[in-house]
Amino acid sequence: MDAELALVYILASVLYTECIAGVIINLIIVAVNLIKWKTMKSLPIGDKILSSLATSRSLFLFIIFLSFLYHLLNLWNNNILAVYIVGIITIILNSTNLWFSTVLCVFYCVKITSYNWKFFIFLKTKISTLVPWSLLASLMISVACGLLFGWFIYNEEIQNLTMKNMTVSRTKKNKNIDTMSLGLLLISCPPFLIFLVADCLLLHSLWMHTRRMRSSGSGFRSPNLETHFSAVKSMSFFLVLQILYFSMTMYIFDSVHNSTIALFISITVTCSPPFLHSLYMIASNSEFKKSFISLFYIISCCAKG
């Protein structure tokens, strides 16, 4: 039992470190874009999407941090209503992250690809107008799905919640967990499938473009070709992380059946893709990198002083 408890605390430490670092990294991205917006009086569409995605990720990681800190300290006891509310908020933020990631991928796909399809040509001409509405629609869809999901799954328990009846049978709990897993799958599938199609189209277009440049004798040292290779690497990494993120999301609630250790492992792996992609954006962007280094320097000076 002591070894199991020690493992739980180790996993919790990893999860909390990941969440705190992820929140800081995403807030840096938001802060840099806000400074750019204040200086330039405007913000490019891509940066608007990144800011929205970074904001939703920071909120998602923060709520995960708080909920599992409460879980570790056993502060959720006799407070089932709070557990359900936090669960609904987590589902909304999880769905928002998936949708905003999809909007980002579709934006890059439309801007970079050179398909001559009428639909793509229409999107290229209207992308600046469509992106803000797409972000708003993504947020509204996520909130609506989260609330409907909470209403149908938790309504019976919340209505019957009294000070005298604060327990739920294990059979009923497991049934709710299974239903939650199915509902989460249905909520997460549409944005993930759109993301998958857009990313595959983007990678295919970039691959064909690099082949044409190679065959034309432009050479591997061409700045244009190197830029495209960098984009292929970035989107391939993003695709792998999204697949991992989507796959592990499906197993979060199933892991509750097993043990606390399985739950912490699944949540830690689920939080890794948003954290790692945000870290990659920091490392690959000079503005973000300088801000991150400056913040790290200030923290180091404060710690020494």
Give the pLDDT confidence score for residue 168 in this predicted structure.
Answer: 47
pLDDT tens string 39-75: 888 888 888 999 999 999 999 999 988 887 777 776 6
3 state DSSP class of 218: coil
Per-residue pLDDT at 305 exceeds 60: no
Domain ranges (residues) in the chain: 2-304
Give the pLDDT confidence score for residue 243 in this predicted structure.
Answer: 81
Q: Which CATH superfamily is domain 2-304 in?
A: Rhodopsin 7-helix transmembrane proteins (1.20.1070.10)
pTM of the model: 0.83
pLDDT tens string 269-297: 888 888 888 888 888 877 777 777 777 77
* Measured distance CA(80)–CA(154) in Å, rounded: 10
Contact 58, 22 (CB under 8 A): yes
pLDDT tens string 89-127: 888 898 899 899 899 888 888 888 777 888 888 888 888
Contacts 24+ apart (CB under 8 A), 10-16: 11/261, 11/264, 11/265, 11/268, 12/68, 12/72, 12/264, 14/268, 15/64, 15/65, 15/68, 15/264, 15/267, 15/268, 15/271, 16/65, 16/68, 16/69
Rounded mean pLDDT of 292-303?
Answer: 71
User: How distant, in Å, are the alpha carbons of 45, 257, 303 from that of 206?
Assistant: 21, 44, 46
